[in-house]
Every structure is written in C-alpha cells, then in structure tokens.
C-alpha cells in the first residue's frame, strides 16, 4: 500500500532522534517539527534571464514570501530526445540554490504536463514525431520518456530536497489532471515514478470544480485545490480518502489572467475591485493558517516560440506578466507594496523581512532604422522533396515556419484546400506574390480561390503559432484540437486537381538564422517575408552596476506581424493586432558599449520604414487584423 507522507512521518517519529524535516498531519505542515504556513508565490526560472534570478528572488522575500513554486518545462530542458539543454535559463539546480541562499523554500512542479501558457503544455514536440501520441495517459512510450525526464531532473535536484539538507519541500504530480481525464492507472504510475526519484511529500493541484478535484485525486498524494476557501470546501467534500487529506494550499491564487493575441483581446488589467478581492482572499487564507501560492508572483516572459495556445488557435502573448506584483521587467509595482503590507500582518517576525530592492529605471533607446536584408529563403536550413506535404514534426522541426512549393504541371482553378485544417496560419503565394491568408485563429478561416497556369509555382508558407497548451474536458473540444502537429500533411488540391510533388523547406528560426542572400531592388506589396536588420549602441555598465539598467521595452514601428531577435536571442513574436505592442528586452542579453544587432522577420513586408524603438513603459493597444476574413467562409 502507498501510504501518505504524514502517516509515514508519524510512524517514523518513534524511531527518529528528531522529527522529519518536512511533513504534515491532517491540518498542519510541520517544518522541523514546528507548524509552517507556506506564503508562496509562483516564479518560473525558465521565463527569467538567469542573470536576474537573484534580484527577482530577493524581491519575493522582501514581500514576505517564504516559498517559491516553480514549473519546470520539459520541452526546454530536453528539446530533442536524449539531449539535455545547457542554456543558463534551464539550470534549475542553480535557481534552487540561489533561492536557498536567499532563505527561500521551493515547491517543484515538474509535470510532465504543466500547462502554464507554454507550447503543448511543456511537453516536448518530439513525443509526437512517430504519429499521434497518446500523452497524459497510461501509454508505455509516454511513461518511458517521462521516466527518463524525471530521472534526469532528479539527478540534478535530489540533493537539494529538504530531506537531504536542501530547500525543496514538495513535488507536484502532473498538473490539473482532473480537468483533462480520469485515467487512474496513469495517475498511479506517475505517482510511483515521482516518488521513486523524489523523497519529499507529493501533491496534486486541481481547479475548484468538484469533478476536476475528484478526477485529479491520487491515493496517497496530498490533494490541493486552487480557488481559496471555496476550493478548500470542495476538496473536503469531494475527497473522502484520508490518504489524500492534509492541510490546505490555495495552489494557484490567480491575480489576473494571461493575455492572448487578437484584435479584440484586451489586456487583463488589475483594477481596484479585483485587488480588494485578492486582498480578502489572502487574509482569509493566511488567517486560518492555510498556505497560498500567489499566481503569478512574477510572470516573466515566454521568450521565443515557447507560447502555447488555447483551443488550438488563440495564442498566448510573449508577455506572461499576469499583472503580477513583480512585473515582467522585474520591477515592484504598487500592488506589490499593497500586498506586502497585508502579508506582513500574518508574519510573526515581520522585522526579519528585508526591505524591497529599489527599482532601477528602464532604458530608452533611440530609433533604430531597420533595413531589408534577405527573404525568408535566407533562413531555410534543409529542403526535401515529397509526393505530398509533411508535418514539420516528422522532419524533426519543433517551431517556426515551413514552406511547401509546387510547380504547376497543368492549368487549374478553384478553391484551395490544404489538409484537414490550418496548422496554424497558411500564407498563400503564387510566384512569390501573396494571394491570401488562411488563419486558424478565426472560426471561419478565409477561403482562397486560385487560377493557376502551367509553370506557376504555388507556395504555402505555414507559421506554427503554438501548440494547444490546455485541454478542458468540459469545453467539448474535439480530438483534432488535441493534435500537436504543425504544417500540412495530406492532400492539397485546387478545384478538382490534386497537386502532387512538393518541395518542402524548413525554416525553424528558433535561434537567429544564419542569413544568406541579399534583396535586390525594392520590396513589392504582397512579397514573401523579409528579414530586416539594424544596429545600436547602449551605454557602458561598470562592475558595480546591474545590467538591468539596460532593460527596455522594444517596439517595432511600421511592422505588422513577425519575430524579433536581439543579438542571437529570440525575444518572440510581435503583432499589430495586440494587445501587446512591445517586447521585454532584458539588458542581460545586450553588449554594453559596443554595437548590438536587432533582426526582424516581417511577415507582411512592403516599402515602408521599419524602426525598432526602446521605451521605458510597455504599450497595450489593439488594431484591426489586415488579414482577417471579410466574412464567414470568405
């Protein structure tokens, strides 16, 4: 029988010379035998430049936080099967050590699925390379890959568990599984895998819906529910198995919702009424000696192509600010100081809480003129031929763009059909001149009619805008929306003609491409995407100054939709539709006192002036989508 940790701990008390370092009973967490309340906040290291971890954690401690809750993103740690990333932001060990140095505990949330606005919920794309993969279920290949992931993660972190003198208190099993499924065989297998590699208490986290809580529960694992006191009542009502009872944690006390791209998508601002409600939730929870995880304490940034999507089409913005008390640029906000005052009311030794670090002003950056350099063909890394288009995953491509080209053998005309549905956005060209856009963002993507002559070249450029990150069994999503594949696979036709023999070119663009070729002459309206480049100087920084004095918000004026790199770092996507109109540019990736390069891939180029501009505040605006369908089905 798999006994819960508080039973094991109680049994051990009779033989241990001292109590276990961290355990719990029915109502209370016990840290070195004394009652302990987690005043926690969510902060994910992989959303923050590693140079800034110390300052972010120092700000957390100064707010009265004693525990950091952190997701780990499998797809970032193991971007290709068997290849563990050495990027500094993926050094979770160092993050936990820095937290330890700051006197902070850590609750680890490793998934394997985490959600959190990430591409495919943090699952690595390569799980789908062999076809339709049944993830989050009792599927041997999936569980085998998960075992390897947890084993490697534990090899890095096991010595940092509190049972071994470290600061990791607990580890979460899966994430909000009850909103997805009810496969008990899978849950038990994942519980046993996690407990094999970690020896601290385990917990599950589900949203405050009775069905979700019931279906997410795992015997012998502490059941945690988000939603504050109402969630606590639901947990106690629904979970009757005493092996999953224990003290309450508001597992995700949401401050605000994340933002999504779209012409009608407004920025989720935090008004006074919402703040007052949040203050009430914090006080009610902490005054009853229940624990809390402020979500997000610091949201950070979904850099590059790491954002996921809802319902397969509505993509999260690069900013994961969440209106957090510590904003995306790491500066403390007015709500930070308000919430700090409320939290300190519940801390016995409040004088031991340090003062918050002073905010460092952001840098303004004069206009950097961007000049066209080459087309997207300059970013192509590999080309193959195939009778029909192929998904990018089958070609070992995780993100970015894929170009399908067909040389017309016989004249044809009619409606273009490209596979079962857009995955996610198809820009249609004939002889490199744009004919329209089929975008899965819209319930009724545009219908494109073509008239092709013999010798014409049809080009279909597909943008992967993010794999579905969250599946809710109550939202009636069809299985097609759970399908992670991007690009086109299967029959492409125009009218009655099936088009065979394709040239397939890969342009991953996760890192700044090694560009080749030069644009000759002007850029015509409707041309294929173009790379623009510009250079700029930033001030020097002396050894006693923080690089965060070079932080800025980068806006691409004159651009419509595209991707931005600074030096070799992929900041992420920009879109004129909004609501996000600027990208957080950390000074940590800049080179003080020398030339820095900004590279932009503009998907809708023309002969207009494009400028990169660094601003000291973020702009939130909405604009019409120039590629929106005129009406349903047209």
As annotated, the active-site residues are: 176, 252
E-assigned strand segments in 441-560: 449-452, 457-463, 468-470, 492-494, 497-498, 502-507, 530-537, 552-557
Helix count and strand count (H, E) for the chain = 10, 32
The pair of structure tokens assigned to 323 is: 């209106």
The pair of structure tokens assigned to 560 is: 């419509």
The pair of structure tokens assigned to 461 is: 């450029």
The answer to whether the beta carbons of residues 212 and 178 sit under 8 Å apart is yes
C-alpha torsion 547→551→556→561, nearest 10: 90
Mode of pairing for the β-strands spanning 291-298 and 249-254: parallel
Helix H or strand E encompassing 81: none
DSSP code, position 45 = G
The closest of 218, 130, 227, 169 to 24, measured between CA atoms, is: 169
Residue with tokens 């049809």: 458
Taking the C-alpha atoms of residue 563 and residue 399, their distance in angstroms, rounded to an integer, is: 12
3-state secondary structure of 80: strand
Taking the C-alpha atoms of residue 588 and residue 442, their distance in angstroms, rounded to an integer, is: 37
Rounded alpha-carbon distances, angstroms, from residue 222 to 25, 218, 236, 253, 290:
11, 8, 12, 18, 14
Could you tell me if residue 630 is left (phi over 0), alpha (psi between -120 and 50 degrees) or otherwise beta? alpha
Q: Where do the H-state alpha helices sit in 113-256? A: 140-157, 184-197, 210-216, 228-238
The pair of structure tokens assigned to 139 is: 């599927």
Taking the C-alpha atoms of residue 326 and residue 324, their distance in angstroms, rounded to an integer, is: 5
The pair of structure tokens assigned to 616 is: 């000291």
Rounded alpha-carbon distances, angstroms, from residue 593 to 391, 537, 539, 554, 590:
44, 6, 5, 19, 9
Q: Where do the H-state alpha helices sit in 385-513? A: none
The pair of structure tokens assigned to 568 is: 């070799």
Taking the C-alpha atoms of residue 147 and residue 149, their distance in angstroms, rounded to an integer, is: 5
Q: At what angle do helices 228-238 and 272-287 cross, to 10 degrees?
A: 50
The closest of 477, 469, 471, 485 to 420, measured between CA atoms, is: 485
- Other CB atoms within a 10 A radius of the CB of residue 281 amount to 20
Estimate to the nearest angstrom the gap between the alpha carbon of 482 and the chain centroid.
17
The pair of structure tokens assigned to 484 is: 């992670």
3-state secondary structure of 205: strand
Taking the C-alpha atoms of residue 473 and residue 464, their distance in angstroms, rounded to an integer, is: 24
Q: At what angle do helices 272-287 and 334-344 cross, to 10 degrees?
A: 20
Taking the C-alpha atoms of residue 30 and residue 557, their distance in angstroms, rounded to an integer, is: 55
The answer to whether the beta carbons of residues 562 and 461 sit under 8 Å apart is no
226 contacts: CB under 8 Å, gap ≥ 6: 205, 206, 207, 208, 250, 251, 252, 253, 254, 295
């Amino acid at each position: 029988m798999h006994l819960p940790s508080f039973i094991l701990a109680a049994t051990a008390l009779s033989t241990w010379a001292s109590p276990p370092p961290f355990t719990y009973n029915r109502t209370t967490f016990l840290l070195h035998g004394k009652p302990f309340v987690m005043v926690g906040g969510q902060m994910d290291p992989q959303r923050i430049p590693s140079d800034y971890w110390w300052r972010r954690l120092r700000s957390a401690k100064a707010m009265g936080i004693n525990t950091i809750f952190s997701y780990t993103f499998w797809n970032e740690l193991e971007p290709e099967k068997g290849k563990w990333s050495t990027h500094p932001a993926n050094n979770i060990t160092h993050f936990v050590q820095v937290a330890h140095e700051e006197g902070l505990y850590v609750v680890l949330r490793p998934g394997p699925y985490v959600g959190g606005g990430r591409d495919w919920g943090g699952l690595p794309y390569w799980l789908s390379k062999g076809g339709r993969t049944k993830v989050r279920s009792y599927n041997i290949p999936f569980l085998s890959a998960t075992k390897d992931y947890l084993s490697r993660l534990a090899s890095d972190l096991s010595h940092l568990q509190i049972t071994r003198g470290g600061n990791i208190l607990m580890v979460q099993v899966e994430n909000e599984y009850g909103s997805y499924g009810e496969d008990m065989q899978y849950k038990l297998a994942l519980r046993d895998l996690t407990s094999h590699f970690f020896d601290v208490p385990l917990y599950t986290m589900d949203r405050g819906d009775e069905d979700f809580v019931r279906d997410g529960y795992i015997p012998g694992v502490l059941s945690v529910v988000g939603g504050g006191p109402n969630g606590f009542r639901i947990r106690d009502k629904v979970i009757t198995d005493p092996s999953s009872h224990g003290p309450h944690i508001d597992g995700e006390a949401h401050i605000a919702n994340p933002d999504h791209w779209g012409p009608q998508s407004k920025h989720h601002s935090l008004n006074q009424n919402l703040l007052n409600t949040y203050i009430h939730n914090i006080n009610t929870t902490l005054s009853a000696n229940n624990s809390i995880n402020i979500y997000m304490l610091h949201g950070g940034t979904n850099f590059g192509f790491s954002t996921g999507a809802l319902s397969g089409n509505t993509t999260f913005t690069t900013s994961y600010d969440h209106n957090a008390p510590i904003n995306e640029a790491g500066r403390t906000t007015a709500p930070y100081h308000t919430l700090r005052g409320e939290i300190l009311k519940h801390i016995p030794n409040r004088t031991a809480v340090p003062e918050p670090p002073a905010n460092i002003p952001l840098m303004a950056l004069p206009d950097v003129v961007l000049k066209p350099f080459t087309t997207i063909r300059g970013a192509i890394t590999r080309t193959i031929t195939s009778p029909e288009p192929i998904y990018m995953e089958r070609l070992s491509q995780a993100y970015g763009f894929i170009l399908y080209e067909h040389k017309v053998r016989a004249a044809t005309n009619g409606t273009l059909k490209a596979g079962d549905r857009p995955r996610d956005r198809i820009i249609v060209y004939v002889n490199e001149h744009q004919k329209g856009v089929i975008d899965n963002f819209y319930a009724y993507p545009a219908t494109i009619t073509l008239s092709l002559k013999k010798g014409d070249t049809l080009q279909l450029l597909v943008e992967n805008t993010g794999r579905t990150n969250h599946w809710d069994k109550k939202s009636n999503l069809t299985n097609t929306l759970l399908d992670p594949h991007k690009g086109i696979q299967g029959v492409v036709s125009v009218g009655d003609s099936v088009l065979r023999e394709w040239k397939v070119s890969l342009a991953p663009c996760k890192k700044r491409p090694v560009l080749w070729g030069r644009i000759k002459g002007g850029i015509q309206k409707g041309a294929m995407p173009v790379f623009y480049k510009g250079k700029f100087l930033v001030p020097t920084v002396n050894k006693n100054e923080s690089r965060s004095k070079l932080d800025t918000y980068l806006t691409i004026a004159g651009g419509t939709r595209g991707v931005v790199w600074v030096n070799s770092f992929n900041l992420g996507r920009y879109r004129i539709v909004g609501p996000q109109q600027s990208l957080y540019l950390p000074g940590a990736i800049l080179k003080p006192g020398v030339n820095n390069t900004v590279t932009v891939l503009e998907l809708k180029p023309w002969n207009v002036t494009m400028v990169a501009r660094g601003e000291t505040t973020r702009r939130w605006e909405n604009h019409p989508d120039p590629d929106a369908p005129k009406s349903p089905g047209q």
